[in-house]
Structure 1
Amino acid sequence: MIENNYFLENEDLKQHFESLINWDEIVDAFEQGFLDKKEYEKTGKEEFSLAPGSKEEAIEFYRSVLESAGEIAGKEVAPYAQKMDAEGLIYKNGKVTFPKEMINAVNQVKEAGILPYSIGRKHGGLGLPCSVQAMLMEIFSRADGSMAIALGCMNLAETIERFGTEEMIETYVPKMAAGELCGSMALTEPNYGSDLPNLQTKAIKGEDGIWRITGAKRFITHGCGFEDKPSIILTLARTGSPTSGARGLSFFIVKSEDVEIAGIEKKMGLHCSPTCEVVYENTPGILIGEEGYGLVKYSMAMMNGARLSIAGQAMGIGAAAYFEAKKYADEREQFGKKIRNIPAVRKMLDLMDREVLAMRSILQEASRSIDLYHWKSERLKEHGVEDREIKKDETIKKWEKLANLFTPLSKYYITEQANKIAFDALQIHGGAGYTYDYDISRIYRDVRITNIYEGTTQLQVVAAIGGIVTGLGAKGVLRQYLDEEMNSFSASPELKENRTKLEESHEIYLSLGNGENKDEVSFELVESATRVIIGVTLERSLNKLQGDAKGERANLVRAYNLDSLALLEYNKIRIQNKRTAVLA
């Protein structure tokens, strides 16, 4: 693996931070007038000691976290990723043993003070906006996907922070922030993967008032905890009748020491990430929130965050594949020249380069939408604003709708492109890449799960299609977003034509009526919309750059939108062909 600071020596990532992110709006939404700093000055509470008191302090604080993460990821984790992968996990008698290098890596993150990156400051966390959290997930995932997942699980406190009682929050969240507890999501069952409304693990409330859970969960990441740290397993279980569907499901806190870890999966990749089978036998659970809202409210909120985290993970692994391929092409000689100078190889590298830009663009736009909707709302609640007042805010309403669209779009697009980049990166390595001598074989295996777990690409399309169809309506939020953004700069002819093709595809799609005819071409419309949204964000970014940086990026952006031009025409033809077949 390339060993350097994965923040400071990643030019596009650094460029996003320094020039492309609108920190005025992010800091304004997230820091809410720097009330945390004022609380520290008033009370001296240590948990608020790092809270910024100005926009400049906030940006500097975020930068320092990213620089520290980049140093640890690139120089302390990446050199051991291949060894960790080869050693893997050991399961014996219900216990999972981790490689010492992975334990050391997590401990270094903890000692650097950046472990609780998504946990609120008042509970001992760093309290970082999503725009920064996404960068952290990318940085750590580039070094090793398994280690990044472990860090993500140790930050799974948000659901308890949002929906738990004060007693729950005080019992568990500070311990997670201190790295004393891990977190885990237990939704999937052996016979029910994405079909969550029909899962059958049951919870029964006894006469003593204690809920007891019986059943089994499969594919549960870190259900075993991490090293000597137990997990708080956030468990979805049925409290209604076996046929009560989504409304019969509730959400519980379960301690890992109260369940049996029946085994861990032997997987194609992510060899240091424990994927557990968890067995519940009259296991005590603590109800989170209201009975019957486990799936429709609490699990869905948790999954949306998890999906963006997986988008960030795929972003990092995809970037790793690109950088490793570029390095190999710069060093490997064939036919008397570096293989980067072979046109076929250069073409592959150029495509990777612009796709990495596109992936990071949609990831940051999705993160922006969450900061301007979710985190703004949560921060207002923290400081006493009533929920009904927050819901009246038209700006928050707008960004909520966009967040609900951009989250599945980013998860679909980034994970699919990361897989393609890893595929081509291994191809550039040739036969050597197929061996374990190079990291690309591990990267290729690790990235494959990203477009499967936390909702397959096909499910992301289902999640996004409604937002696109209604969003492109006459008063739809996506139409308004595209209009506002494109009016803020001088759009290229390619981008304008792509927008037109999207509108035409949308009209043809609407004419298909309901049912399977639409379903069969939903992906085409989702892909077209995603390419236009990315094209808009990429061209918008050019306004914020100067000199050579702008010129280099402009070439990549134009190439991306030209590629989109052909793809949107193809998708339009596919949708039109479906309409022709329906009318025949």
Structure 2
Amino acid sequence: MGQYTAPLRDMQFVLHELLHVEDELKQLPPHADIDAAIIDQVLEEGGKFASDILFPLNHTGDREGCHLDAQTHTVKTPKGFHEAYKQYVDAGWPSLSADPEYGGQGLPLVVNNALYEMLNAANQAWTMYPGLSHGAYECLHAHGTPEQKELYLPKLVSGEWTGTMCLTEPHSGTDLGMLRTKAEPQPDGTYRITGGKIFISAGEHEMSSNIVHLVLARLPDAPPGTKGISLFLVPKYLPRPDGTLGERNPIFCGALEEKMGIHGNSTCQMNIDGATGWLIGEPNKGLNAMFVMMNAARLGVGMQSLGLTEVAYQNALAYAKDRLQMRSLSGPKAPDKPADPIIVHPDVRRMLLTAKAYAEGGRAFSAYVALQIDKELKHPDEAVRKDAEDQVALLTPIVKAFMTDNGWIATSEAMQVYGGHGFIAEWGMEQYVRDARINMIYEGTNTVQSLDLLGRKVLTDNGARLRKFGAQIQSFIEENGLDETMSEFITPLADLAEKVTKLTMEIGMKAMKNPDEVGAAAVPYLRVLGHLVYAYFFARMAKIALEKQGNGDKFYISKLATARFYFARLLPETAMLIRQARSGAAPLMELEAELF
């Protein structure tokens, strides 16, 4: 059923030739000894695990799904999932980028990020189990008490225990300010948690001995809205001080969601019936703590769609080279065969190149963001840490929304390459489309990400973060503006950068008079910024490819052709998007609700 090979060559190009990760890591004391050879070895082994162990379980896991025993509230994952997770834990993969103080290997996030692309490409539903655990680890590492860290982090780092985040409730959805789950203080310093949560990925399963739920709830005297939300640690089994498991905590899976995709992941409705919990961080400031996990999850969802884009592209490419149908419009290309392979047809190439460009652009962009997180966390210079923090804040909603939009586009185009066979389950392509669709919805819908980008990350600081990143782009433009071989990339990049500046100012002025202007412009605005970012990285990659295309390595010829396709066929979408963003709120808001 299909195929997947880790794109190691392109990963190495991004990490070593584009981002010069080894040199960057030398500036970060905890990672100063990590060189390119170590990184390549880790990725090679990760690629083997993804393609040999996880990929064969993807289609079967989708067909089988998860099963709930309503009497015991236990969930069984698809055949092979548990065994694969044991191999994952035995090989030490959960600890890759975790703190050595708690048993981690201490590798940088930029390496862990590349691993997760491969895992998601091979099996997104399976990867959500350890992926959410890593987010829980990050949250506790940042906000847990010393006692909580000592007890829980080694278990999460080793993979012996897994984690979830329990946010959403049936009546409130994205509006967390409306949540009703209660937390009542107990004399022993614990809290009694009562309520219900929905859409809890990996909420119940048999793959780990314990599940650490991070639950948002309200204290009795909490103020209304988001300012009255606290975060609690609610384990499935109550651990004893030595880490062994005690009694079952009453936080149960009441039902499994019937979903469009990611069938191999147990998406649960969780019933919390007076469960014992412990406060994480300060009372009524739970969102501050949870945002550590939520931001990690948003980056993780971007990697989910990048993985799906890559695996869908690989399979569509193999099919297009093998499938014979019709003759080329310019004459037979395989005269010894009854028809030509469909890769000779221009529109099939458009679909393949769309997926290829979105995979390669997303890989460069997400690796850059992961490297900025490493700098934010580990660089000794406070000013560098602050600059990196600003970039991560600006770019995270673009990673989540732009990359998942593109994953939906790319998987759909890849399925289209197959024609009717793409719509048939046995070929595996329709699963990628179904799985990709959730990525635009959860961890904050892409509209929410767009509002966050434009409203919070751009307009609230009068564009200071955006200007910082824009200065980086402008510097590259000025350095290469006189290079004639780069003009096909520099000219449209400079043009779009100028248009983004004008568009931002225009929306900002309108929003001062009518806040609905932000909501009307946000989605096309984020996509424009996404294209600006991709154009910048494709221009940088094209520069490298131009310098090295004569060395006989066809990789650089392919990279240059992909960059040219991106600028010629994908970047022009920004013209339409800018017109949409400028059209304002009136076309959306003037129609009375009863007239719809």
Contact 1:318 1:356 in 2 (8 A): yes
CA 1:30 to 1:95, structure 2 compared with 1: closer, same or farther past 3 Å?
farther
- Asked if 1:414 is matched to 2:403, the reply is yes
Which residues of 2 match residues 244-283 of structure 1 at below 5 A?
244-256=224-236, 257-258=248-249, 259-283=251-275
Tell me which residue corresponds to 1:71: 48
CA 1:471 to 1:4, structure 2 compared with 1: closer, same or farther past 3 Å?
same
- Asked if 1:313 is matched to 2:313, the reply is no
Partner amino acid for 1:69?
A: G
Unaligned runs of 5+ in 2: 237-247, 327-338, 482-488, 591-596
Contact 2:309 2:407 in 1 (8 A): yes
Tell me which residue corresponds to 1:23: 21
Which residues of 2 match residues 386-405 of structure 1 at below 5 A?
393-405=382-394
> Aligned partners of 1:12 and 1:432: how far apart in 2?
29
Contact 1:160 1:173 in 2 (8 A): yes
- Asked if 1:566 is matched to 2:572, the reply is yes
Partner amino acid for 1:433?
A: G
**Residue 402 of structure 1: how far off its partner (Å):** 1.0
CA 1:166 to 1:553, structure 2 compared with 1: closer, same or farther past 3 Å?
same
> Aligned partners of 2:465 and 2:38: how far apart in 1?
42
Tell me which residue corresponds to 2:532: 532
**Residue 475 of structure 1: how far off its partner (Å):** 8.9
Partner amino acid for 1:370?
A: I
Partner amino acid for 2:254?
A: A
> Aligned partners of 2:511 and 2:278: how far apart in 1?
45
Partner amino acid for 2:158?
A: A
Tell me which residue corresponds to 1:109: 88
CA 1:509 to 1:283, structure 2 compared with 1: closer, same or farther past 3 Å?
same
Where 1:574 maps in the other structure, the secondary structure is helix
Tell me which residue corresponds to 1:429: 418
**Residue 481 of structure 1: how far off its partner (Å):** 3.1
Partner amino acid for 1:358?
A: G
**Residue 21 of structure 1: how far off its partner (Å):** 2.4
Where 1:100 maps in the other structure, the secondary structure is coil
Contact 1:415 1:451 in 2 (8 A): yes
> Aligned partners of 1:488 and 1:131: how far apart in 2?
27
CA 1:224 to 1:480, structure 2 compared with 1: closer, same or farther past 3 Å?
same
Cα deviation per residue 1:267-311 (whole Å; 9 max; x = unaligned)? 11111101111111221101112111101x101121001100110
CA 1:312 to 1:90, structure 2 compared with 1: closer, same or farther past 3 Å?
same
Tell me which residue corresponds to 2:6: 6
Partner of residue 280 from structure 2, selected from 253, 276, 288: 288
> Aligned partners of 1:412 and 1:321: how far apart in 2?
19
CA 1:214 to 1:55, structure 2 compared with 1: closer, same or farther past 3 Å?
closer
Tell me which residue corresponds to 1:556: 562
Q: Percent identity?
A: 26
Cα deviation per residue 1:300-331 (whole Å; 9 max; x = unaligned)? 12100110011011110111111111111111
Partner amino acid for 2:310?
A: A
> Aligned partners of 1:365 and 1:118: how far apart in 2?
16
Partner amino acid for 1:285?
A: G
Where 2:414 maps in the other structure, the secondary structure is helix
- Asked if 1:376 is matched to 2:378, the reply is yes
Tell me which residue corresponds to 1:498: 496
Contact 1:471 1:477 in 2 (8 A): no
Tell me which residue corresponds to 2:523: 523
CA 1:485 to 1:241, structure 2 compared with 1: closer, same or farther past 3 Å?
farther
> Aligned partners of 1:263 and 1:172: how far apart in 2?
27
Q: What TM-score do the two structures reach when normalised by structure 2?
A: 0.86
Which residues of 2 match residues 199-238 of structure 1 at below 5 A?
199-238=179-218
Where 2:439 maps in the other structure, the secondary structure is helix
**Residue 24 of structure 1: how far off its partner (Å):** 4.1
Tell me which residue corresponds to 2:127: 148
Contact 1:211 1:284 in 2 (8 A): yes
Partner amino acid for 1:253?
A: L
Higher alpha-carbon deviation: 540-549 or 338-347? 540-549
CA 1:464 to 1:176, structure 2 compared with 1: closer, same or farther past 3 Å?
same
> Aligned partners of 1:192 and 1:26: how far apart in 2?
43
> Aligned partners of 2:57 and 2:585: how far apart in 1?
54
* RMSD over equivalenced CA pairs, Å: 2.4
| Residues matched between the structures, number | 545
Tell me which residue corresponds to 1:90: 67
Tell me which residue corresponds to 1:357: 360
Partner amino acid for 2:235?
A: K
CA 1:376 to 1:330, structure 2 compared with 1: closer, same or farther past 3 Å?
same
Contact 2:215 2:234 in 1 (8 A): yes
Tell me which residue corresponds to 2:447: 458
**Residue 145 of structure 1: how far off its partner (Å):** 0.6
